[in-house]
């Protein structure tokens, strides 16, 4: 076992402790799949966990939908120190069950979680069409990718030959080991540290090789430097502080973009093309001082941050470390001098488009996100605005609330849109962002999320998710947002979120009384079940019904009618 494998084992143990998990395998499943999907361990959704009997060597499936496009993550996470070709063969069989088996065959599966996720994938395919869906598959172990056997590589290619054939918008199958995992871990955001540097630049007094721009008190330059200069600065910053303002860490070799960057800057024949093929690097700094001495041209920077170009910078640094970076590789720099944090946020938001960026990550540095992080601390709670922000903090996992969970909980409960919260989570960071993160007091966000978390835990512990009755089981597993919307109204007695004194009292009740919602959630489940039982058309396609705005309206009508009846008001 090498040091990187030890680091992975340490993270498995930390995940096990943070989430109070029974064994290392469960911890590695959540940790590995979270790394793969670029999410924190506290954002892992149990509905994605299909591990168990008849899982066909598939452990977790995450499904995301945004604006008519779908993304499916499928992983097998094995707590071993090697890669097995037999496991890949089994994964291929699992993919066959997901994408090719007939419904009558699926009905024979005893792994209900796996069957439900397959049906969700089939529903997405029917809605969007395979050509609008990306599929990412990963076989994740604590092994070393440098020791992958030829047989494993052959079986990996067999899977790609079968599915990467134009059916889907994109299909990838990666073998992810300790090297790749630690590359991701190492690029986590660290505490702020000022970094100043002198960067040698290309400068010719006879040609416009340096462009200066001044406007409204702002100053910026565009210039060219040698890739070796970027490698020197990045490799000297062993903790990655220079990327502290970058909204996403280095992706390792998991994507094709970074592989292409390394190949181009390592090409001894075509390395000169790098400047033309790459978008360059954007830097913000407190002070910018270009020195156009023809014998020693350079630019002096104080408190510099690379806010766009993390993938480029680290790929160049890795090529230098391996001795493959070519001398003729140059890179374009765009440097902006400003101490205006609002402008820095705008630069970060508008320049990060070379690799696909998660919309949640784009918003991580918004003022309202930072405000909520600070406001949650009032109640000794921790608001996770960036993935894995608190992974090494030794904080009780029950006190950590990821901002994506807070957002969908608020959408379902306070905004009364459980169908969107379940099926259109992408709207949280786009269309609904300003409505959700409106800057109101923190209490509604905390209550909505506590209610949601409590409801999920109750449904799991109650045994409803293992019901033999198909409708009950499906609702228990898939309708948590609808149930929590009902529970909120029944427990709180209204949809009023403006009485802050009452909200504060309710938070204390939720934090201090572990059984405060037992009866309410049980009754809310019965309410939702009755809605479905009373209208057989709702049962024809349960997945589609749970996506419908009509169901949200129906729930509202039932709740308001019951309230009017309780108050003695005639309909």
Closest listed residue to residue 284, CA positions, set 306, 268, 264: 306
What pLDDT shows up at residue 193? 55
Share of the chain above pLDDT 70, in %: 92
> CB 556: neighbour CB atoms within 10 A?
15
| Integer Cα distance of 319 and 231 in angstroms | 8
| Integer Cα distance of 181 and 252 in angstroms | 8
> Vertex 224, ends 222 and 228: CA angle to 5°?
140
Fold held by 3-185:
Restriction Endonuclease (3.40.91)
| Integer Cα distance of 22 and 12 in angstroms | 12
Lowest pLDDT segment from 23-27, 264-268, 354-358, 508-512: 354-358
Taking a C-beta distance cutoff of 8 angstroms, is the pair 234, 311 a contact? no
pLDDT digits 0-9 by tens, 416-470: 999 999 988 888 888 899 999 987 889 999 999 999 999 999 998 888 888 889 9
Lowest pLDDT segment from 243-252, 357-366, 527-536: 243-252
H helices of 19-149, where? 24-37, 85-99, 103-106, 112-128
pLDDT above 50 for 101? yes
Average pLDDT over residues 142-149: 91
* pLDDT confidence band for 349 (50 / 70 / 90): low
List Cα–Cα distances, 381 to 32, 49, 83, 360, 399, in angstroms.
25, 26, 40, 20, 5
* pLDDT confidence band for 545 (50 / 70 / 90): very high
Does this model's pTM top 0.75? no
What pLDDT shows up at residue 248? 56
What pLDDT shows up at residue 192? 41
**Comparing 231 with 307, which gets the higher pLDDT?**
231
Place of tokens 């709207």: 427
Q: 458-481 burial, b if ≥16 CB within 10 A, otherwise e?
A: bbeeeebbebeeeebbbbbbbbbb
| Integer Cα distance of 218 and 234 in angstroms | 26
Q: Transcribe 374-386 into DSSP letters.
A: HHHGGGT-EEE-S
Average pLDDT over residues 7-13: 89
Burial class of residue 50 in the structure, from the number of CB atoms within 10 Å of its CB (0-12 exposed, 13-18 middle, 19+ buried): buried
Taking a C-beta distance cutoff of 8 angstroms, is the pair 72, 135 a contact? yes
What pLDDT shows up at residue 181? 87
| CA torsion, ordered 250, 64, 45, 424, to nearest 10 deg | 130
> Vertex 230, ends 299 and 226: CA angle to 5°?
70
What pLDDT shows up at residue 152? 95
Average pLDDT over residues 158-186: 88
Reduce the DSSP state of residue 125 to 3 states and report it: helix
Taking a C-beta distance cutoff of 8 angstroms, is the pair 477, 402 a contact? no
pLDDT above 60 for 356? no
What pLDDT shows up at residue 2? 81
| Integer Cα distance of 137 and 75 in angstroms | 6
Beta strand ranges found along 407-566 (DSSP E)? none
**Comparing 7 with 105, which gets the higher pLDDT?**
105
Taking a C-beta distance cutoff of 8 angstroms, is the pair 36, 73 a contact? yes
Taking a C-beta distance cutoff of 8 angstroms, is the pair 62, 72 a contact? yes
| Integer Cα distance of 381 and 397 in angstroms | 10
| Integer Cα distance of 571 and 563 in angstroms | 10
**Comparing 1 with 526, which gets the higher pLDDT?**
526
What is the pLDDT of the chain when averaged over all its residues? 87
> CB 198: neighbour CB atoms within 10 A?
14
Reduce the DSSP state of residue 183 to 3 states and report it: helix
* β-bridge mates for residue 336, sequence order: 220, 284
Question: What is the DSSP-derived secondary structure letter of residue 365?
Answer: T
Spatial neighbors of 121 by CB under 8 A, at least 6 apart, are 61, 63, 72, 98, 99
List Cα–Cα distances, 8 to 3, 13, 390, 453, in angstroms.
9, 9, 17, 28
What pLDDT shows up at residue 364? 81
**Comparing 549 with 216, which gets the higher pLDDT?**
549
* pLDDT confidence band for 55 (50 / 70 / 90): confident
Place of tokens 């909120």: 488
* pLDDT confidence band for 525 (50 / 70 / 90): very high
What are the boundaries of each domain within the chain?
A: 3-185, 189-357, 367-566
Q: Is the dihedral of CA 394, 399, 402, 403 positive or negative?
A: negative
What pLDDT shows up at residue 250? 58
Question: What is the DSSP-derived secondary structure letter of residue 536?
Answer: G
Share of the chain above pLDDT 90, in %: 56
Reduce the DSSP state of residue 134 to 3 states and report it: strand
* pLDDT confidence band for 264 (50 / 70 / 90): confident
What pLDDT shows up at residue 237? 85
* pLDDT confidence band for 258 (50 / 70 / 90): low
């Amino acid at each position: 076992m090498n040091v990187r494998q030890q680091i992975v084992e340490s993270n498995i143990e930390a995940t096990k402790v943070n989430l109070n998990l029974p064994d290392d395998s469960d911890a590695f499943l959540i940790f590995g799949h979270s790394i793969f999907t670029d999410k924190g361990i506290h954002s892992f959704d149990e509905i994605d966990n299909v591990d168990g009997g008849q899982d066909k060597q598939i452990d977790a499936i995450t499904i995301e939908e945004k604006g008519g496009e779908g993304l499916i993550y499928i992983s097998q996470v094995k707590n071993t120190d090697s890669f097995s070709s037999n496991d890949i063969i089994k994964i291929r069989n699992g993919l066959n069950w997901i994408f090719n088996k007939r419904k009558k065959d699926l009905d024979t599966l005893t792994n209900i979680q796996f069957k439900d996720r397959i049906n969700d994938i089939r529903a997405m395919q029917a809605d969007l069409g395979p050509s609008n869906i990306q599929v990412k598959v990963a076989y994740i172990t604590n092994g070393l990718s440098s020791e992958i056997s030829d047989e494993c590589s052959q079986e990996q290619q067999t899977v790609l030959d079968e599915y990467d054939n134009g059916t889907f918008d994109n299909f990838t199958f990666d073998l992810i080991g300790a090297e790749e995992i630690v590359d991701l871990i190492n690029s986590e955001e660290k505490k702020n540290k000022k970094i100043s540097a002198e960067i040698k630049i290309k400068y010719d007094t006879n040609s416009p090789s340096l462009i200066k721009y001044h406007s409204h008190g702002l100053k910026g330059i565009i210039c060219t430097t040698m890739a070796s200069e970027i490698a020197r600065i990045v490799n000297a910053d062993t903790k990655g502080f220079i990327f502290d303002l970058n909204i996403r860490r280095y992706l390792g070799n998991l994507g094709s973009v970074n592989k292409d960057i390394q190949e181009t800057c390592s090409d001894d024949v075509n390395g000169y093309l790098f400047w033309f093929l790459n978008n360059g690097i954007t830097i913000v700094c407190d002070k910018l001082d270009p020195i156009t001495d023809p014998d020693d041209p350079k630019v002096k920077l104080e408190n510099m941050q690379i806010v766009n170009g993390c993938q480029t910078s680290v790929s160049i640094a890795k090529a230098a470390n391996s001795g493959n970076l070519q001398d003729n590789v140059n890179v374009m720099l765009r440097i902006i001098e400003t101490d205006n944090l609002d402008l820095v946020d705008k630069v970060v938001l508008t320049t990060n488009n070379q690799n696909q960026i998660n919309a949640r990550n784009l918003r991580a540095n918004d003022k309202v996100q930072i405000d909520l992080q600070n406001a949650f601390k009032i109640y000794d709670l921790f608001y996770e605005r960036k993935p894995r922000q608190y992974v090494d903090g030794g904080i009780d996992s029950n006190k950590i609330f990821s901002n994506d969970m807070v957002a969908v909980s608020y959408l379902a409960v306070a905004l009364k849109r459980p169908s969107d919260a379940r099926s259109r989570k992408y709207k949280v960071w786009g269309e609904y962002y300003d409505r959700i993160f409106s800057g109101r007091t923190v209490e509604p966000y905390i209550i909505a999320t506590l209610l949601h978390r409590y409801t999920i835990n109750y449904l799991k512990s109650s045994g409803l998710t293992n019901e033999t009755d198909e409708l009950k089981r499906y609702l228990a597993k898939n309708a948590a947002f609808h149930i929590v919307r009902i529970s909120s109204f029944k427990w709180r007695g209204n949809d009023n979120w403006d009485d802050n004194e009452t909200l504060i009292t309710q938070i204390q009740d939720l934090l201090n009384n572990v059984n405060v919602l037992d009866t309410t959630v049980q009754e809310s489940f019965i309410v939702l079940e009755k809605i479905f039982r009373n209208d057989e058309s709702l049962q024809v396609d349960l997945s589609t019904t749970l996506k419908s705005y009509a169901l949200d309206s129906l729930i509202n009508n039932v709740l308001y009618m019951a309230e009017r009846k309780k108050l003695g008001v005639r309909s």
